[in-house]
Structure 1
């Protein structure tokens, strides 16, 4: 276990998730300022963010997460007939255009995030997953982490985000920030993962939301997993149940790893979570 923290800013937190392509600029500024305060501690951090109303709207329209109906072979040249699909001349053309649209919208939101981080004085650098990651059946197959490791060693703040990814089996897909964090956790062995969103944590009685669970160990997770709710907005990469399940899979693999799911909607909550205060729902072995 190390001091490294993986922090995700959920798409529902930094965008108006029910209004396509709408960033919450004031919230981004607030969150960036809180991250900047933590940054002075000198503890290493990798920041990730979701796509919210940017990527998810286009992804749902085209079904990008599930793959491309006529996938072009990875590494194929312009001489492959399948590659004509990017111009809409084959059955898969519409879906490849959708793939490109999801990429564009995700990168647009990333630009807003990077501008907020820069304004807060953070030495942040975006590392676009589509340029470095190859997937196989919606899981990371290969990822050259040299640039990310170099950024950490240089004292920079690496920023990744949910993105379209070329997939060896499905042609193309989408990997969420949690999908990417899963690979980073296995490779870098962070001490904790913080998932900041709108939801206050895991509710014992979702969707009534009257009894928040402060801590879940793996044995109790097994007993309550069926009752963990889904996301209240469109989320093509999985809701709360998927996030909790993925975190426990990692907690079982990486000794000492903890995760926290909490709301950063209230000013100061992100600072408290970064400082190690108990907030939201803690997940432990």
Structure 2
């Protein structure tokens, strides 16, 4: 099983409000359609929230349950995120890719922001039917904090114990995890391992665009937790939809490769 997350900065205008880039969604749909028989039954697709997932919580004061949110507005994050998932599903259907959207708030409960209970059997069933499951982040209910915004970066962790995940690909608007050299120039860090992950984490910072869930650092931390459980990770540029396939299948793809290692204790590194 492989997981691909297409960043919201690629599929929406993150400076806008619920502003999709439908042409880019269509380009990705066509890329997957061309290789659908190869991908059928072994691909999970996650789409970043972009100008939906980052703008809606700000408008309705839903970033944090401690804010002065209104109960009449509580539904708006899920309503707008499912609007986004529905649009993606429609475009993929038009390009010949059978897919099914999953609303994250309907199957996940967290405790202090970490998944506490979740129900993934429907996802397994959809995959067994040869249909592409499509996910995004959402507002979910939390046992300690009433509700939280659950980042799409963290969704693969729900599946790792039930499914044999091979590689998690995160397509972004940058070439990988960047570092600044002594000459002031930015270069891509090609590899993250157990030996250097702390140093690389110090290089990963917030997004330069609106992002309420932690930017590159949150992405890298999520991939490191997967690496502890034996899953390869890739962070690379998805400015061209065709980049999806080599990121999935090449042994040494362009970008930053997160090498898996065995988990040695239940607590993990992060």
Please classify the TM superposition score into its range, dividing by the shorter chain length.
Answer: 0.7 to 0.9
Partner in structure 2 of residue 81 of structure 1: none
Partner in structure 2 of residue 32 of structure 1: 29
- Check the 8 A contact 1:68/1:171 in 2, yes or no: no
Cα 1:267–1:155 change in 2 (3 A) is closer
* Cα RMSD for the two superposed structures: 1.9
- Check the 8 A contact 1:68/1:95 in 2, yes or no: no
* TM-score computed with the length of structure 1 as normaliser: 0.84
**Counterpart mapping for 1:128-147 below 5 A:** 128-147=103-122
- Check the 8 A contact 1:198/1:263 in 2, yes or no: yes
- Pairing 1:268–2:242 present: yes
Q: Which has the higher helix share?
A: 1
- Check the 8 A contact 2:60/2:76 in 1, yes or no: no
After TM superposition, give the deviation of residue 187 of structure 1 in Å: 2.9
- Pairing 1:259–2:256 present: no
Cα 1:28–1:118 change in 2 (3 A) is same
After TM superposition, give the deviation of residue 218 of structure 1 in Å: 2.1
- Check the 8 A contact 1:264/1:270 in 2, yes or no: yes
For structure 1, which segment, 222-231 or 163-172, has the greater mean C-alpha deviation from structure 2 after superposition? 222-231
Separation (CA, whole Å) in 1 of partners of 2:96 and 2:21: 19
After TM superposition, give the deviation of residue 12 of structure 1 in Å: 0.9
Cα 1:10–1:177 change in 2 (3 A) is same
**Counterpart mapping for 1:190-201 below 5 A:** 190-201=165-176
* TM-score computed with the length of structure 2 as normaliser: 0.88
Q: Could you say what secondary structure the match of 1:194 adopts?
A: strand
Partner in structure 1 of residue 211 of structure 2: 235
Could you tell me which runs of 5 or more consecutive residues in structure 1 were left unpaired when the two chains were aligned: 70-91
Larger-Rg structure: 1
Q: Could you say what secondary structure the match of 2:75 adopts?
A: helix
- Superposed CA offset, 1:25-47 (max 9, x none): 11000011112223221460111
- Pairing 1:23–2:20 present: yes
Could you tell me which runs of 5 or more consecutive residues in structure 2 were left unpaired when the two chains were aligned: 261-270
User: For this pair of structures, how many residues does the alignment match?
Assistant: 256
Partner in structure 2 of residue 247 of structure 1: 223
Partner in structure 1 of residue 65 of structure 2: 67
After TM superposition, give the deviation of residue 157 of structure 1 in Å: 0.7
Partner in structure 1 of residue 46 of structure 2: 48
- Check the 8 A contact 2:111/2:142 in 1, yes or no: yes
Separation (CA, whole Å) in 2 of partners of 1:164 and 1:104: 10
